[in-house]
Structure 1
């Protein structure tokens, strides 16, 4: 049973007796003062404060005097001391190169108030595509943080460096520890080297690493000894499992950080219980130190030996507690541009890279020897593109998998988008369409297809599945995919016209929400050459031949 709070009016003051779980809610009400002797919160006895208490505190019981205060109209001006303070203008941090949108400024204001004057922890629940990375970098700059640890999914590690270079003009030393850095031992060594450089030059250091490496030895032991000014957990829903290795690592890191910032568009991707481990990292006083107690409070247990969650309870209280350090921005904010592009990259495995390099070396040699032209180059480029997607087509027309990097990248991306958003994935080859279905299944989503072999568009438009795998040649003119605001380009056509049509399938009349186009590229492959040509609005095959022959 949820413990009730009680409000009364005594000697010109509102006295509020509330359970410990409402501590932060009580503190946030203007004019709050803790009466240690009576163990109650005291507030000015004004109708305004009564209404704030009524709307802020869950399960509130009240005396007749408090109820009478709620109905009273204010007939005389309240004393100046009781008036709300004017909202100060936000001073943007020095070194910021980008002008933030209005909702980003509000998120920044919220974050700084709680990081500087609160418990040093904030959750920015900004949906994908609305600019949470820029807000985090504004916080980083405003705090003048000297040691920053940024943890994120592997595919996002290089994106953070790109965003830092794009948005900040600071003497920041950045070390990106993705797969190109080698083993976890090498990642620790690189971080140590950059730390020594930062200390010698007096410059701040940002260490960017993926979740699957941050908990592994020897990096974990090193990180847990460092005094971090700011730890950023990007896509923090990755920490949702209380017993997960990354989640437990962040539990240990919490005490090493002066400030903690979590970023995610889907803080509760599967259930309300997903909040616990994220808040354990941010501020364990909000939900307490025990997951068992948290689950007992907010979940209804049933099933075999009452060990299965059958329902949830007290969700209003859970939401109220989350709100104390959470700033939410949905995709419907008004000052977003109509469409945005983002690129995620993956590395081919060594075996797949050897296959790719053999084909590429032959192709480059033929181009430079003048033995290949635009007329016959397409076949060889198609083979390179297939290997970049993880497939080799043999002479008998069968596809054989040589790599899963891009498929895993897709599954990773779908998980971050979350289970409630429709997604369109554009592909060129049947093997890629098959990979989309496998990735969707791995992420726990239903998928349908629009291609030369299947037409399930109507079923997807009616909501039967979240993911629609679209063959580029079938998803062109006249196809309305505006149910989705996320379009993922898994493999690209060489046609600029078909590329534009793909983008226009979700961003067209009937689309009421901002659109995010996500490009998945295999690093150091023809994927990057194709994307560069399309970005330049150039003819793809000719552009690649000129690039190779230069």
Structure 2
């Protein structure tokens, strides 16, 4: 069993001494190289490798894993000790399913493989040679920023109402290159770097050029409201329909409709899959694509059966826990790139020890998928980022929450209208703001508003759970602010449910320094729950680079002070601040008031933090 290893080590010196070596009646030769006869047949690329050297004609391989471990192969008449380059090429072919008979069938879009073995490729047909050259060029465009032909891709149109940063413009160009080459890709930038903006700029260009057909954006329910908001704000030329509502009343627009984007949740798409299978879509775009990482799930199977001309996925975590998630991503984007699921599991997830150690498998797997994944981290594009970025995250209420909120909004509106008509001064204003606080609690987490709502779940808390999980996966530290202690209690429950270590600081905390020091200095404690008043001023929390504001405060300067606990002298990273706003609730009215009243000082409650609202503005809160 040690013969190949001995030959690999000692054959060179023996041959240098003029000794001819043979094994099983075959001459052993050094400096073996590969030639790979290649032919494109429809949707399949066929490859047949041969081995040879300068002084020996090339012959078909007779593969033997026992030999390959030591860098050797055999042919009909010889054994060859391969050069390092040839051995790497052989490993690539093996990774993609090269059979023991020396024959490989793979996807013609397998750019990583074509690039890795390009110099060894041989073709008989000129059309095949041209095709392989085109694929090699596509690989370079997608993996080398200098090769993305920025001058040949027109900029975003004037119908797109935002200015892209340099790295976002690079992403925009990458998306266009994928489309030109008819390839699928995953935009996997760090959370907060603007994957939605880059996608909308790309779609806006296609719409302006008359090249955008009706397309699907599929995502979790909690992100759909954000898509609608961002489209209205930055890409109003993209006519959009949100496919939702009661099961019996959901309908797709006619095929000749002006609607170019249909936004739908994963669950709704799975339930109504038959309707979506009736059409071929221009683009299918998966948002938070890690939601469908399980290839065995019904949702994944439903999405994979959809027909489309172009496929994209957006996720900050293309690979969360297991390599199988990467196979799921790629099998949606570019079917066949990583072989069958069975082959992938055997070769990449559970590689046999006699083949090669896993630390060699993983780099080559990365090289295979590299053309189809664009990932930038905040640290890489720091020079392109402002020191602080603030984003509004729209949170859809759950059906029960929306029902409870609407019923109480009508009741409260009637009560407040009566109080304002009484014109009884300060007493009624205190009661009015007590009612407003109850309505705000319904928008955050209904059980906080009282016993009648104890069984009503919260859309915002689901968004919080998802956000925290994603941010922690990227190894960041987070400040979570709320003005309501009950909201912090609920956030604490979420932390405990996931076994996330956290610190907490509120007005009742007697020893403030202990939680502050624990958060700043203990790498295991990555969440800090703070009340807006107690934690919003006077402390330095530059260990955090993410800030979540669970609810809006009347005075935007109070929120700015909270964000500045992290965004201050000594902070080495860009700070990402997220305001969680429940859609179609009083929280949106508060945002509008923040915009209208830049300088809020006096208060009807005397604490300088609640704005001096007139009767009309008070009633608008209940609209």
- Does residue 323 of the first structure (1) align with residue 370 of the second (2)? yes
Give the structure 2 partner of residue 409 of structure 1.
Answer: 463
CA apart distance, 1:466: 2.6
Does the 8 Å contact 2:222/2:459 carry over to 1? no
- Does residue 262 of the first structure (1) align with residue 328 of the second (2)? no
Aligned equivalents of 2:425 and 2:365: distance in 1?
A: 65
**Superposition map of 1:4-403 within 5 A:** 18-19=92-93, 21=95, 23-28=110-115, 34-36=121-123, 87-89=149-151, 90-94=153-157, 95-118=159-182, 120-143=183-206, 144-168=211-235, 170=237, 172-177=238-243, 181-187=244-250, 189=251, 191=252, 194-196=253-255, 199=256, 203-216=258-271, 219-253=272-306, 256-290=307-341, 292-300=342-350, 314-332=361-379, 333=381, 334-338=383-387, 339-347=389-397, 348-371=401-424, 373=426, 374=429, 377-391=432-446, 400=454, 402-403=456-457
Aligned equivalents of 1:538 and 1:336: distance in 2?
A: 28
CA apart distance, 1:184: 3.5
Does the 8 Å contact 1:449/1:470 carry over to 2? yes
CA deviations on 1:4-34 (whole Å, 9 max, x unpaired) are x9668989xx986540646422434797684
Residues 388 and 483 (structure 1), Cα distance of their counterparts in 2 relative to 1, 3 Å cut: same
Aligned equivalents of 1:523 and 1:372: distance in 2?
A: 32
Aligned equivalents of 1:86 and 1:280: distance in 2?
A: 25
CA deviations on 1:16-75 (whole Å, 9 max, x unpaired) are 65406464224347976841469xx999xxxxx9xx99xx9xxxxxxxxxxxxxxxxxxx
* 3-state SS in 1 of match to 2:167: helix
Aligned equivalents of 2:588 and 2:425: distance in 1?
A: 21
Give the structure 1 partner of residue 57 of structure 2.
Answer: none
Question: Across the two proteins, how many residue pairs are aligned to each other?
Answer: 479
Give the structure 2 partner of residue 71 of structure 1.
Answer: none
Residues 293 and 26 (structure 1), Cα distance of their counterparts in 2 relative to 1, 3 Å cut: closer
Residues 226 and 382 (structure 1), Cα distance of their counterparts in 2 relative to 1, 3 Å cut: same
Give the structure 2 partner of residue 533 of structure 1.
Answer: 593
CA apart distance, 1:343: 2.5
Give the structure 2 partner of residue 437 of structure 1.
Answer: 492
Residues 132 and 85 (structure 1), Cα distance of their counterparts in 2 relative to 1, 3 Å cut: closer
Aligned equivalents of 1:525 and 1:394: distance in 2?
A: 15
CA apart distance, 1:240: 0.9
Residues 418 and 278 (structure 1), Cα distance of their counterparts in 2 relative to 1, 3 Å cut: farther
Residues 394 and 10 (structure 1), Cα distance of their counterparts in 2 relative to 1, 3 Å cut: closer
Give the structure 1 partner of residue 503 of structure 2.
Answer: 448
Does the 8 Å contact 1:421/1:466 carry over to 2? yes
Residues 140 and 6 (structure 1), Cα distance of their counterparts in 2 relative to 1, 3 Å cut: farther
* 3-state SS in 1 of match to 2:564: helix
Aligned equivalents of 2:449 and 2:150: distance in 1?
A: 67
CA apart distance, 1:166: 2.5
CA apart distance, 1:514: 2.2
CA deviations on 1:170-192 (whole Å, 9 max, x unpaired) are 3x331023xxx4223433x1x2x
Larger Rg: 2
Stretch deviating more after TM superposition (509-518 or 398-407):
398-407
Does the 8 Å contact 1:383/1:392 carry over to 2? no
CA apart distance, 1:262: 0.5
Aligned equivalents of 1:137 and 1:7: distance in 2?
A: 45
CA RMSD of aligned residues (A): 3.6
* 3-state SS in 2 of match to 1:265: coil
**More relative contact order, 1 or 2 (CA 8 Å, 6+ apart):** 1
Residues 533 and 401 (structure 1), Cα distance of their counterparts in 2 relative to 1, 3 Å cut: farther
TM-score (norm 1): 0.77
Stretch deviating more after TM superposition (102-111 or 344-353):
344-353
CA apart distance, 1:249: 1.6
Stretch deviating more after TM superposition (362-371 or 406-415):
362-371
Stretch deviating more after TM superposition (500-509 or 133-142):
133-142
Does the 8 Å contact 2:413/2:619 carry over to 1? no
Aligned equivalents of 2:614 and 2:246: distance in 1?
A: 34
CA apart distance, 1:320: 1.5
Aligned equivalents of 2:180 and 2:95: distance in 1?
A: 22
CA deviations on 1:61-90 (whole Å, 9 max, x unpaired) are xxxxxxxxxxxxxxxxxxxxxxx9894514
TM-score (norm 2): 0.69
Does the 8 Å contact 1:367/1:548 carry over to 2? no
Aligned equivalents of 1:399 and 1:501: distance in 2?
A: 33
Residues 424 and 297 (structure 1), Cα distance of their counterparts in 2 relative to 1, 3 Å cut: farther
Does the 8 Å contact 2:442/2:449 carry over to 1? no
Structure 2 gaps, min length 5: 1-31, 36-51, 55-84, 97-109, 131-135, 353-357, 601-609
Stretch deviating more after TM superposition (270-279 or 17-26):
17-26
Aligned equivalents of 1:136 and 1:276: distance in 2?
A: 23
Residues 429 and 85 (structure 1), Cα distance of their counterparts in 2 relative to 1, 3 Å cut: closer
CA apart distance, 1:502: 1.1
Residues 312 and 86 (structure 1), Cα distance of their counterparts in 2 relative to 1, 3 Å cut: closer
